[in-house]
């Protein structure tokens, strides 16, 4: 099946009111595959490695919105801030401060999502819901003018147990809503709940996702 028809198939399963944004996760796939999806109307793409993003972004159309979704080391922040319209995988205060410093330096603001950790695996990165509640304060927001807090990103546990997956997504939605109705109440741009991948995105949408990140279902398996 072509990338265009896979995209069509996925779009047909998304809510028709446009409430869910599709990010095509193109990591490990060549620029030609991205160009194919672009020709089919796709504009949001996800990459997980800085060295890949810096090669692909200049080689592809400028109206692509690049989402950075991988673990980001502070020494790669400069490369990523130069190209990303949204950094979804912000998992430490140190990283947040590094992104802010670089954004301020180049005179822009970068949209970010705070990565929330609710899954069973200890290996997954991100803040616990309690950590997010104490991290995100008016003082922090005021101290980071180069950063626009847009919402939360998270993943479900690696399991076939659909009820476990659903409860992880509901936990992500709960922390998102708590923040949105609390400290972020006066920030209407805090409206992104990024959750759901190829195997679980329909469950994520049922649980309130506003952004799904789909790689394999669009581009096929990755060759690492």
Interface contacts to ligand PLP, rule CB under 6 A: 25, 27, 48, 69-70, 197-199, 213-217
Taking the complex as a whole, how short is the minimal distance between the CB of residue 137 and ligand PLP, in angstroms?
Answer: 26
- Measured in degrees and rounded to the nearest 5, phi and psi for residue 131 equal -60, -40
Nearer to ligand PLP, 159 or 198 (CB): 198
Residue with the CB atom nearest ligand PLP in the bound state: 215
Closest-CA residue to 17 (of 218, 213, 215, 210): 210
Count CB atoms within 10 A of the CB of residue 93: 13
Nearer to ligand PLP, 25 or 193 (CB): 25
Nearer to ligand PLP, 6 or 27 (CB): 27
Write out the DSSP string of 176-202.
HHHHHHTTTTT-TT--EEE---TTTHH
**What's the CA gap between 195 and 210, in Å, rounded?**
8
Nearer to ligand PLP, 102 or 200 (CB): 200
Taking the complex as a whole, how short is the minimal distance between the CB of residue 199 and ligand PLP, in angstroms?
Answer: 6
Taking the complex as a whole, how short is the minimal distance between the CB of residue 187 and ligand PLP, in angstroms?
Answer: 24
Task: Give the start-end residues of each E strand in the chain.
Answer: 21-25, 44-47, 65-68, 84-90, 110-116, 147-154, 192-194, 211-214
Taking the complex as a whole, how short is the minimal distance between the CB of residue 195 and ligand PLP, in angstroms?
Answer: 9
Nearer to ligand PLP, 128 or 143 (CB): 128
**What's the CA gap between 174 and 152, in Å, rounded?**
11
Taking the complex as a whole, how short is the minimal distance between the CB of residue 222 and ligand PLP, in angstroms?
Answer: 7
């Amino acid at each position: 099946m072509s990338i265009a028809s896979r995209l069509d198939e996925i779009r047909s399963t998304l809510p028709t009111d446009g409430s869910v944004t599709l990010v095509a996760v193109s990591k490990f796939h060549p620029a030609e595959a991205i160009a194919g999806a672009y020709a089919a109307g796709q504009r949001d793409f996800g990459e997980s490695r800085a060295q890949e993003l810096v090669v692909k972004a200049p080689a592809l159309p400028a109206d692509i919105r690049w989402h950075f979704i991988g673990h980001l080391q502070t020494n790669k922040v400069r490369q990523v801030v130069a190209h990303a319209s949204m950094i979804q995988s912000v998992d430490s205060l140190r990283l947040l401060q590094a992104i802010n410093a670089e954004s301020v330096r180049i005179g822009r603001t970068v949209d970010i999502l705070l990565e929330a950790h609710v899954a069973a695996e200890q290996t997954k990165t991100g803040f616990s819901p309690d950590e997010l509640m104490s991290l995100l304060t008016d003082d922090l927001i005021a101290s980071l003018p180069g950063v626009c807090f847009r919402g939360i990103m998270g993943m479900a546990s690696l399991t076939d147990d659909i009820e476990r997956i659903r409860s992880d997504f509901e936990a992500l939605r709960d922390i998102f809503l708590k923040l949105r109705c609390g400290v972020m109440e006066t920030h209407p741009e805090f409206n992104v709940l990024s959750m759901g991948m190829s195997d679980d995105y329909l469950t994520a949408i049922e649980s309130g996702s506003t952004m799904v990140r789909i790689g394999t279902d669009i581009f096929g398996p990755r060759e690492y």
